Amino acid sequence: MSRLVLVLGDQLTFDIASLKAADKTKDIVVMAEVADEASYVPHHPKKIAFLFSAMRHFAENLRQVGWRVNYTKFEDSGAHASIGAALLAAAEEHRCSKVLATEPGEWRLLKHLNDIPLDVTQLEDDRFVASHAEFLSWAEGRKELRLEWFYREMRRKSGLLMDGDKPEGGKWNFDQDNRKPAPGGVDFSGPMHFRPDHITSEVLDLVETRFGDNFGDLRPFWFAVTSDDAHRALAHFVDGGLAKFGDYQDAMLSDERFLWHAVLSMYLNVGLLSPLEVCRAAESAWKDGRAPLNAVEGFIRQIIGWREFVRGIYFHEGPDYVSRNFLDHDRALPALYWGGETKMHCLSQAVDQTRAEAYAHHIQRLMVTGNFALLAGVHPHEVHEWYLAVYADAYEWVEAPNTVGMSQFADGGVVGSKPYVSSGNYIDRMSDYCKTCAYSVKTKTGEGACPFNLLYWHFLDRHRKRFASNPRMGNMYRTWDRMNADKRETIIAEADAFLRALENGDPV
């Protein structure tokens, strides 16, 4: 008896659990471009085009090695609204009721698969270094879940950068050598670009017609859509970008969209690359003397540390995680996030490149768009939906802990021990944005004062009860308390006026 083998858009590898458990001679692979998945948030057109084209290429690869594939294109007359509808139609067509699936990376879809009136087996997604059971057992009984301890476990388990049971170089973490401000220019050409083939060109036309109104530029489209090309992009980064990745990981420069970043997350998250092969490629570069340890350790920590850690948190915390709002923030997401006019140069740079590339690097996401939303008190669910929509690498298991947790502190400290807030000083130190901004970062109040400077104190003042006793925030409150009362009053009044202008939709 045949079974249906579901392969979702972010499960595009022969190593996916459902394919490994299936029988090529009897079972039928089901892949479907469906309206529900394409519209649960207004995805960036580049993200949809990437997914659909990568899905179509993977279906071809499956057929070439002998799989029978039941594939529905978005534009087919028999296209389905949901994954469930696609499975039900395939079940009827092939007269079978058993489905092998790999668990999706989102509670919404997990529930959807459980609710389908078919015999669905959901296998654990084993593309990660830590299984669910391993994360849960690591987390159990701990008062706080902190990345550093989890990361060391992942280093031991994977053997990456290990010298026996000791970390290479005598330290687990080389962050103190990293995080330098940007130099004047960038000597890496950025991510490898690929020319759309006929499959991608067809998808681009479809996305233009059906999703052309979504926020984001569809063209030029340069992403890899096959595993072979994603591997070329990996090699290109390891050869040209990795050596300086550590040093300039947190730097930002006007009109430099990628600096020394890998721009591989979208490939990793759909299965075109595997996390361990990416880490091993980086480790080899260190062993061959092509990249220093601080860069390679920093890079590997992002993948077997942060990426695994946030996934563990997402499934550990449960389906209500994305609705948390620890700080009771309730402001609507300002129009500037969708490209509305702003005089704040840091934000216009981050949003413009997000629209153009469906990409911004970590510090732009955390310390520019994330920091501003947190300081301004934007409702975390609106922030979450924005990040889920606009980035090509965004799937809830990875996006939500980064946004709801790390960036908006809406989980009350599950991911991080204190909120990531900063005044304009941090942005000025790590970028050249302030040099050409209409606001002055050095000005704390009055005409032209940088809004981050005003909102930073507004945030601390309005959340004093929550944070004054946090040992990592005591210094901030002592500085605030040392200011004279008139200055404090002026800051709060000016911040309030700024927030009113933001709410009224005035260009700020």
Q: Report the nearest approach of ligand FAD to the CB of residue 464 (Å).
A: 25
By CB under 6 A, name the one of 5, 19, 30, 34 that touches ligand DLZ.
34
Nearer to ligand SF4, 314 or 439 (CB): 439
CA atoms within 13 A on the CB side of 107: 13
CA distance 107 to 112: 9
By CB under 6 A, name the one of 47, 73, 127, 365 that touches ligand FAD.
365
List all residues 6 or more positions away from 131 whose beta carbon is below 8 Å from its beta carbon.
Answer: 124
Is there binding between residue 268 and ligand DLZ (CB under 6 A)? no
- Which of ligand SF4, ligand FAD, ligand DLZ, none sits in contact with 366, Cβ below 5 to 8 A by type? ligand FAD
Q: Report the nearest approach of ligand SF4 to the CB of residue 68 (Å).
A: 55
Is there binding between residue 106 and ligand DLZ (CB under 6 A)? yes
CA distance 354 to 228: 26
CB distance 161 to 296 below 8 Å: yes
The dihedral region occupied by 339, where left means phi > 0, alpha psi between -120 and 50, and beta the remainder, is: left
3-state SS record for 415-459: CCCCCCCCCHHHHHHHECHHHHCCCECCCCCCCCECHHHHHHHHH
Considering only 3-11, 143-151, 405-413, 482-490, which stretch makes contact with ligand DLZ by CB under 6 A? 3-11
By CB under 6 A, name the one of 47, 155, 236, 307 that touches ligand FAD.
307
By CB under 6 A, name the one of 13, 53, 302, 354 that touches ligand FAD.
302
Is there binding between residue 8 and ligand DLZ (CB under 6 A)? yes
CA distance 479 to 409: 22
- Which of ligand SF4, ligand FAD, ligand DLZ, none sits in contact with 350, Cβ below 5 to 8 A by type? none
3-state SS record for 273-308: CCHHHHHHHHHHHHHCCCCCHHHHHHHHHHHHHHHH
Considering only 17-25, 88-96, 99-107, 386-394, which stretch makes contact with ligand FAD by CB under 6 A? 386-394
Is there binding between residue 99 and ligand DLZ (CB under 6 A)? no
Segment 247-266, which members bind ligand FAD (CB under 6 A)?
A: 261-265
Residue 212: C-alpha distances to residues 204, 334, 340, 394, 456 (Å): 10, 22, 18, 19, 37
Nearer to ligand FAD, 80 or 311 (CB): 311
Is there binding between residue 102 and ligand FAD (CB under 6 A)? no
Nearer to ligand FAD, 211 or 267 (CB): 267
Q: Report the nearest approach of ligand SF4 to the CB of residue 422 (Å).
A: 9
The secondary structure of residue 170, as a DSSP letter, is G
Nearer to ligand SF4, 154 or 375 (CB): 375
Dig out the tokens for 325 from the structure.
Answer: 């709002």
Residue 17: C-alpha distances to residues 21, 60, 165 (Å): 6, 19, 31
Nearer to ligand FAD, 283 or 393 (CB): 393
Residue of 61, 59, 73, 74 whose CA lies nearest to 29: 59
Overall residue count recorded for the chain in this entry: 508
Residues that bind ligand FAD (CB under 6 A): 261-265, 268-269, 299, 302-303, 306-307, 310, 361-362, 365-366, 370, 387, 391, 393-394, 398-399, 402-403, 406-407
Residues that bind ligand DLZ (CB under 6 A): 8-10, 32-34, 37-38, 43, 48, 51, 83, 104-106, 109, 395
